[in-house]
Structure 1
Amino acid sequence: MENITEERIEGTCGHAKPCAPGLILPVWEPQDVSSCTKTFRAFVYLVAMAYLFFGVSIIADRFMASIEVITSQEKEVKMKKITGEPYTVLIKVWNETVSNLTLMALGSSAPEILLSVIEIIGNNFEAGDLGPSTIVGSAAFNLFCIIAICIVAVPSNEIRRVHRMDVFWVTVAWSLFAYVWLFLILSVFSPNEVEVWEGVLTFLFFPLTVLTAFMTNKKTGIFGQRLLSPLSYISFRRSRTPRETAPSKKHSNIENGISDVTGTLLGTNATKEAFDEHRKHHLDILRQLRNEHPDLSLEQLEKIATAKIVADAPKSRAFYRIQATHKMMGSGDLSAKLKVPEKERESEFSRPTTPILKPKVITVSFDPANYMCLENIGTIKVKVRCDRGSFQVPSRVRVHYKTYPDSAQEHTDYKPVEGELVFEHGEEEKEIGIEIVDNDVYEEDEQFFVRLSEPKAIMANNESQSLPTRLGAAEATVLVIDDDHGGAFTFSSETFKVAETAGVFYLNVQRHRGARGAVTLPYKVIDGSANNGKDYVAPDPSELHFEDGQTKATIEITIINDDEYEKSEDFYVELEPPIWHAKNQVGEGDADGRPLLGDHTRCRITITEDREFKGFIDKLAVNANTSLMVGTSSWKQQFTDAMTIEDIDGDGSLSVKEKVLHYVALPWKLTFALIPPTDYFNGWVCFVVCIIGIGILTAFIGDVAAMFGCTIGLKDSVTAITLVALGTSLPDAFASKTAALQDPTADSSIGNVTGSNAVNVFLGIGIAWALAAIHHAFKGTTFKVESGTLASSVTLFLIGAVICIGILQWRRRKSNVKGELGGPNGPKYLSAGIFVFVWVVYILYSSLVTYCIVPGF
């Protein structure tokens, strides 16, 4: 108790400090007011603080969007096969572990970090309680409450395990060390004082954390690098924009499929095997979708495949943070953007143009570099583009081309070609015609390659003068889709309506994928509320005959008009397995090309009264004009999105909750719509502006939180570990919950918490205290930091952290759980309850120590 008495004498255990002007806000005068007035002022401060936190979460949404763009940047990597043929792929510039511990962590922790730095600067480089206590309090909420929420959120019949335990343990070790180090510099090395070396070393632990996590990642398996598609692989049905075709400034050469550039913090080695596996994965998805939806066109399959690849791709921390914030402010679900037609996403306002400096080199490349065609196309045209860069002089460009077999063989599947293209002055595009062999035997989809080599350019008026040339996308892939299948038979829809005055209903049956051989297609007509012979007359016999090459046949059903008012009567038509009359029913390599049924093999036909049918058509025409929200990459679209109320729950109507969320967030959304779109300079402009905006809002939050505390007599350290920590961490809680539900692993929901806690200390406290210690060193004074309350808070957090991490490991090894998140209800709620209990104990004990009711550590 002697310590408590001494602290009371020094004044550290007295009442909260009196209200004083903040960094931005003045004091609410007069200060000597009644209790009712103080209560009203406290309520105003509390509402203002909540609304400012709401604003920070919304601008953090834009901030995380810019970080997602930055960390998704790609670079060209030139590769060579063993045969010496070059080709180009794109790889992610940023290693995933590095991005999670740097920009991603900064995005989620920016308010806490900036609050600590701004408080130091606003206090003339003197220590305050709000910033450091917010960081420790936020860490406690992150580790105890967010993980508890994630444990409970996962259904009891599912579990989520941390996949990358190596990286997880590195971040756990650093997060625990961060708070051990904080205790040491407060209470051991130089009690109640922070020296320059302590502050600087605290900050330097941040790059060490990133480096050790990266090295662990690199030495224990491929994790950070995600290999992307080859150049021009994004879409092979549209011309690429100048931005997409612009050559990268940095290239890496890979001999025999291995890069000669070793892995760095921004990228890792790309191998030929990984690239081939990636391409094979895309082809497998396309073939799987063809089997699941045999009646869809190639264009439809391409859109579905693209959406599936994007939906199945691992989601970043930024994605879940943005997803959570969108729902908080009534802006809908990000995944809905995948359903937007390509032509709408590529509108004139969707991608602002920026001037691109063309290089002084002539580039010859395939554009596009991937093709898909049916076997009966005859001749496919492969396009080659010549980009003369910034050259203005007349020139003649030559390039050699040749086809190479892969799964498709020469003469059997295509006619090989070899030759030279000549681009005269003014010519930018040439075509290589390749004849596709159309046989009568079913075979799997096959591909071959066309490669460019030996580009040469000379001046048209001086053939002795050559110009610099290079190859861009030097390899084109041609996928040949077989059309010798017996066909997939389907209706165009599962529901049809016909007026009873129609007389005859013509029901079309379509034959997709192939049309080889004659086929008999049995079907049956089944009564519903409409009866055969009374409301309609079914054909007899019930079968269709398709000749070789025939792709459509019609079932004619007579509709009986009985002059009675019929609201709705229906019957069904169901297709049965087709009978193939082809002589050779075995394809190449025993491939199965027999006819089969498609997606819609049973349809319902509803007989309606004629006026109702007209009403149905009118209603359909109105609903067809409904459009889906698209992503924004221009100021116009940002303001459009800000003004739009989204149907968050997807029930087709706007609820009161959705309207309230929208209008409450509207001032913030309109304000932050002024931030430059993320497409500008690869997201860096948006990044910088958002940092400034978050800093300004954080300064307001610091002032409001301090004035709220002094108004009700609450100390800054207590306000920080409760209200401020909760306000800055709630968006992360929603994001982690979403990640726990949608991710197959617990890495995003748990691993990011531990990494963020370490970054908070090393950046938030490291930068602030290093600046203050250096400032005082230049003045010849010392930087004083009262260790009592903060050291006790840190110690209690460490004890709770060890307990909770131990529980996570117990859950991972327990036979009936075997995962950090989810599992049976008993262990799940017991674990979550312990986490929450530890957090409550931490808050209570830290508050009691602050007011010297109990002794500290």
Structure 2
Amino acid sequence: MTNLPIKKCKDRTMIPALPTTLPNIAIYLFFLLYCFFGIAIITDTIMCAIQRITTTMRKIKKEREKTSLVEQGMNTAQRTDEEEFEYVKVWNPTVANLTLMALGSSASEILLSIIEVIGNGFEAGVLGPGTIVGSAAFNLFTISAICVVSNITVFYISAAFSVLAYVWLFFILIISSPNIIEVWEAALTLFFFACLVAIAYAFDVRWCKRKMSAMTSAMVAKSYPSLSPEDHAKILAYRINQANTPHDRIQMTSSWRESRTEQDVVKFMTTFKTISVDGRTKPRIEWDARTYGVQRGDKKIQLKLVRRGTATQPLTAAYQTVNGTAKKDMHYLDKRETVQFEPGERSKAIELQILDNGDWKHDDVFYVHLKIKDKLPEDRTKLGQCDTARVRFVEHTDFPPFPTVEFAKNNYVISENDEWVRIYVRTRSLPIHEQNVIVYETEEETAEAEYDYVSVKNGQLVFEPGEIEKYVDIEIITDNPDQDDETFAVLITKINEEVVSAAAHLRTTITLIASDRAIQNLRNMRTLMRNYLKEMQLPHVTATWKEQIINACSVNGGDTANATLADALKHAFAFPWKVLVAFVPPPELMAGWPCFVTALGLIGSVTAVVGK
């Protein structure tokens, strides 16, 4: 008989031991899983506190710029010598991600290990080290595999340090001092962590300076020309919030679910995103129509690619279908191909297969994305505004008995410094399987033709079979000194050679905003942006204990109108934990630190129970 060392089980100091029977095992397992559920809820509170901490702002004196945008719109006599201040974040997102976020998301594993080490006389426990190493491996491999990497440089640094950490562990546990962690090894490990934070911060700061150019209000306005200034402010706030928010795997918890404003922004960014920002006269490639229509019984749809501007070089473009409410292999056949343009070639037609036996519903839509795959270095062709085509299912009942078209918007507001304005026209009742010709012209109002814009007379917009929404471009003349807002109109005069009478839907107005007015609009956009940014940053943070207790006792956070049976069952199951967490200090109290410390202590207590 082999003589094996006998270890005496330690007495349960927190939870009494029960006889090992199947019912008792089931009870232990249930409460163990319930404790894990509680840890997830408490961790959610910790993340709210961390988000509040990392959004803390400090007031700094603003250096006066020599040629700022606002100063360009003000007279020298109007300027004051008063000091200007601005608010900046205390925490860098990358530093917060590697310190506070790492602590918050791994609090249960870290506290479990600490509790075990102290309880075992500073010897490693059974669960602690394994959970920490396993969690780190899960972050490095699984999370990295399924997540989108937004900053590749910081990811490379983190991945390199993660691999080095395993090598370092092997060295100190196997080679240097087997099974013993010495003080100098612990100190050096802590120093390595500080190096990681410093290096990641340095690369992040350099990267942020480059990426901020993509977040200016001017670029947002050009990328989404059909949206209002209020929507531009939402997009700008969304981009800044995404750039400044620390990211970690714990975002899967409810504290990081998108607010309703963020969901709205993502929706219309997906719908209205058109492009890379480029000038009207620069060489570009795009779809000839923004929206194509299909009906029941259609087995194919033809889309047209057009190349504008100079076309002296060969060009290869690639396109692919993307699911919307219509799904591949259910409503259409997926297609990913390239198109070769020879020098001087201006257009190409592609064909997509439609499944007529699909369960099409009204306004089901899928998308066809376009990108430039290969071009010569000297070729400056870029994607145009219409780089995403939509294919939409159109019911026969959509068509009234008379032919009609309309402008997508009844007014457009642009800066007088813009080179052109794109106006969208869509059919409402014209046969989509026939060619339809629309005649349009410009009309003076306060803006003068050939002085403020290039006039158009008897311009033709041809809808080929299947096209239901197209565009016309009107050139804006920018070299005039006028400072007043001016307007002109675009009218549809004929539909398939039939003269149409004036109607609201056959007329759209273009307003050219003067430079000083543009500055005021910029100020208004900034004000809106701040409001939306605040709404997006802390969508779930409560300010008082009363609010927390009410939310804890309410189904679906008080939104009972949209609550389902599943929400009610989850609320009942989590009710004890919700009430317990409701007594944690609110995240708004003292910048979130009391909430963070209290929740950390609470999760430590529950973790101790799990360890037993």
TM-score after normalising by structure 2: 0.50
The answer to whether structure 1 residue 677 and structure 2 residue 586 are counterparts is: yes
Provide the residue aligned with 2:204 in structure 1: 223
The answer to whether structure 1 residue 638 and structure 2 residue 548 are counterparts is: yes
Q: Secondary structure at the match of 1:645?
A: helix
Provide the residue aligned with 1:305 in structure 2: 236
Structure 1 residues 397-440: Cα deviation after superposition (integer angstroms, max 9, x where no partner): xxxxxxxxxxxxxxxxxxxxxxxxxxxxxxxxxxxxxxxxxxxx
Task: State the superposition RMSD in angstroms.
Answer: 5.5
The answer to whether structure 1 residue 53 and structure 2 residue 43 are counterparts is: no
Provide closer, same or farther for how the CA distance between residues 303 and 109 of structure 1 changes in structure 2, counting only shifts above 3 A.
closer
Provide closer, same or farther for how the CA distance between residues 499 and 641 of structure 1 changes in structure 2, counting only shifts above 3 A.
farther
Give the aligned residue type for 1:298. Answer: P
2:121 pairs, out of 120, 126, 131, with 126
1:548 pairs, out of 445, 449, 468, with 445
Structure 1 residues 271-327: Cα deviation after superposition (integer angstroms, max 9, x where no partner): xxx5xx7875543xx22332344454433322332123323x154245x41x3122x
Provide closer, same or farther for how the CA distance between residues 596 and 674 of structure 1 changes in structure 2, counting only shifts above 3 A.
farther
Does structure 2 conserve the Cα–Cα contact (< 8 Å) formed by 1:97 and 1:213? no
Give the aligned residue type for 1:645. Answer: N
The answer to whether structure 1 residue 667 and structure 2 residue 576 are counterparts is: yes
Q: What's the offset of the Cα at 1:499?
A: 13
1:11 pairs, out of 6, 12, 28, with 6
Structure 1 residues 359-393: Cα deviation after superposition (integer angstroms, max 9, x where no partner): xxxxxxxxxxxxxxxxxxxxxxxxxxxxxxxxxxx
Structure with the greater alpha carbon radius of gyration: 1
The answer to whether structure 1 residue 40 and structure 2 residue 23 are counterparts is: yes
Q: What's the offset of the Cα at 1:41?
A: 0.8
Provide closer, same or farther for how the CA distance between residues 639 and 505 of structure 1 changes in structure 2, counting only shifts above 3 A.
farther
Does structure 1 conserve the Cα–Cα contact (< 8 Å) formed by 2:98 and 2:197? no
Provide the residue aligned with 1:75 in structure 2: 58
Provide closer, same or farther for how the CA distance between residues 38 and 524 of structure 1 changes in structure 2, counting only shifts above 3 A.
closer
Provide the residue aligned with 1:153 in structure 2: 146
The answer to whether structure 1 residue 173 and structure 2 residue 68 are counterparts is: no
Provide closer, same or farther for how the CA distance between residues 696 and 166 of structure 1 changes in structure 2, counting only shifts above 3 A.
closer
Distance between the aligned counterparts of 2:193 and 2:424, measured in 1?
66
Distance between the aligned counterparts of 1:147 and 1:691, measured in 2?
24
Q: Percent identity?
A: 22
Q: Secondary structure at the match of 1:676?
A: coil
Give the aligned residue type for 1:126. Answer: G
Provide closer, same or farther for how the CA distance between residues 18 and 165 of structure 1 changes in structure 2, counting only shifts above 3 A.
closer
Structure 1 residues 13-60: Cα deviation after superposition (integer angstroms, max 9, x where no partner): xxxx457332x22333xx4xxxxx612111111111111011112101
Provide the residue aligned with 2:128 in structure 1: 135
1:316 pairs, out of 246, 252, 265, with 246
Distance between the aligned counterparts of 1:188 and 1:576, measured in 2?
72
1:600-619 mapped onto 2 (5 Å cutoff): none
Does structure 2 conserve the Cα–Cα contact (< 8 Å) formed by 1:647 and 1:658? no
Q: What's the offset of the Cα at 1:697?
A: 0.6
Give the aligned residue type for 2:472. Answer: P
Give the aligned residue type for 2:253. Answer: T
Provide the residue aligned with 1:620 in structure 2: none
Provide the residue aligned with 2:104 in structure 1: 107
Provide closer, same or farther for how the CA distance between residues 527 and 647 of structure 1 changes in structure 2, counting only shifts above 3 A.
farther
Structure 1 residues 576-612: Cα deviation after superposition (integer angstroms, max 9, x where no partner): 63778xxxx521299xx998999xxxxxx9xxxxxxx
Distance between the aligned counterparts of 1:510 and 1:107, measured in 2?
51
Provide closer, same or farther for how the CA distance between residues 136 and 118 of structure 1 changes in structure 2, counting only shifts above 3 A.
closer
Provide closer, same or farther for how the CA distance between residues 669 and 332 of structure 1 changes in structure 2, counting only shifts above 3 A.
farther
Provide closer, same or farther for how the CA distance between residues 690 and 184 of structure 1 changes in structure 2, counting only shifts above 3 A.
farther
1:325 pairs, out of 243, 250, 253, with 253
Give the aligned residue type for 2:107. Answer: A
The answer to whether structure 1 residue 527 and structure 2 residue 429 are counterparts is: yes
Aligned residue pairs, count: 393
Q: Secondary structure at the match of 1:223?
A: helix
Q: What's the offset of the Cα at 1:668?
A: 1.8
Q: Secondary structure at the match of 1:132?
A: coil
Structure 1 residues 330-361: Cα deviation after superposition (integer angstroms, max 9, x where no partner): x88335453589xxxxxxxxxxxxxxxxxxxx
Provide closer, same or farther for how the CA distance between residues 110 and 512 of structure 1 changes in structure 2, counting only shifts above 3 A.
same
Provide closer, same or farther for how the CA distance between residues 60 and 279 of structure 1 changes in structure 2, counting only shifts above 3 A.
closer
Provide closer, same or farther for how the CA distance between residues 137 and 544 of structure 1 changes in structure 2, counting only shifts above 3 A.
same
Q: What's the offset of the Cα at 1:97?
A: 5.3
Structure 2 unaligned segments of length 5 or more: list them.
68-80, 266-393, 448-466, 492-504, 506-535
Distance between the aligned counterparts of 1:160 and 1:81, measured in 2?
32
1:210-249 mapped onto 2 (5 Å cutoff): 210-217=193-200, 221-223=202-204
Q: What's the offset of the Cα at 1:63?
A: 1.0
Q: What's the offset of the Cα at 1:670?
A: 3.0
1:338 pairs, out of 237, 250, 262, with 262
Provide closer, same or farther for how the CA distance between residues 91 and 164 of structure 1 changes in structure 2, counting only shifts above 3 A.
farther
Distance between the aligned counterparts of 2:143 and 2:585, measured in 1?
34
1:588 pairs, out of 446, 461, 479, with 479
Q: What's the offset of the Cα at 1:680?
A: 1.1
Q: What's the offset of the Cα at 1:110?
A: 1.9
Q: Secondary structure at the match of 1:27?
A: coil
Q: Secondary structure at the match of 2:34?
A: helix
Does structure 1 conserve the Cα–Cα contact (< 8 Å) formed by 2:442 and 2:490? no
2:90 pairs, out of 93, 97, 108, with 93
Does structure 1 conserve the Cα–Cα contact (< 8 Å) formed by 2:57 and 2:87? yes
Provide the residue aligned with 1:577 in structure 2: 472
Q: Secondary structure at the match of 1:513?
A: strand
Q: What's the offset of the Cα at 1:695?
A: 1.6
Distance between the aligned counterparts of 2:203 and 2:576, measured in 1?
44
Distance between the aligned counterparts of 1:184 and 1:53, measured in 2?
36
Does structure 1 conserve the Cα–Cα contact (< 8 Å) formed by 2:424 and 2:472? yes
Give the aligned residue type for 2:129. Answer: V
Give the aligned residue type for 2:588. Answer: D
Provide the residue aligned with 1:779 in structure 2: none
Distance between the aligned counterparts of 1:522 and 1:339, measured in 2?
25
Distance between the aligned counterparts of 1:597 and 1:647, measured in 2?
49
Provide the residue aligned with 2:327 in structure 1: none
Provide the residue aligned with 1:696 in structure 2: 605
Q: Secondary structure at the match of 1:63?
A: helix
Does structure 2 conserve the Cα–Cα contact (< 8 Å) formed by 1:62 and 1:690? yes
1:179-198 mapped onto 2 (5 Å cutoff): 180-183=171-174, 187=178, 198=182
Distance between the aligned counterparts of 1:658 and 1:46, measured in 2?
24
Q: Secondary structure at the match of 1:94?
A: coil
Does structure 1 conserve the Cα–Cα contact (< 8 Å) formed by 2:426 and 2:468? yes
Q: Which has the higher contact order (CA 8 A, sep 6+)?
A: 1
Provide the residue aligned with 1:252 in structure 2: none
Does structure 2 conserve the Cα–Cα contact (< 8 Å) formed by 1:340 and 1:630? no
Provide closer, same or farther for how the CA distance between residues 96 and 545 of structure 1 changes in structure 2, counting only shifts above 3 A.
closer
Give the aligned residue type for 2:479. Answer: E
Structure 1 residues 606-636: Cα deviation after superposition (integer angstroms, max 9, x where no partner): xxxxxxxxxxxxxxxxxxxxxx994232234
Provide closer, same or farther for how the CA distance between residues 340 and 529 of structure 1 changes in structure 2, counting only shifts above 3 A.
closer
Does structure 1 conserve the Cα–Cα contact (< 8 Å) formed by 2:542 and 2:548? yes
Give the aligned residue type for 2:130. Answer: G
Distance between the aligned counterparts of 2:207 and 2:153, measured in 1?
19
Does structure 2 conserve the Cα–Cα contact (< 8 Å) formed by 1:75 and 1:93? yes
Q: What's the offset of the Cα at 1:644?
A: 3.7
Provide closer, same or farther for how the CA distance between residues 49 and 133 of structure 1 changes in structure 2, counting only shifts above 3 A.
same
Give the aligned residue type for 2:252. Answer: A
Q: What's the offset of the Cα at 1:100?
A: 3.8
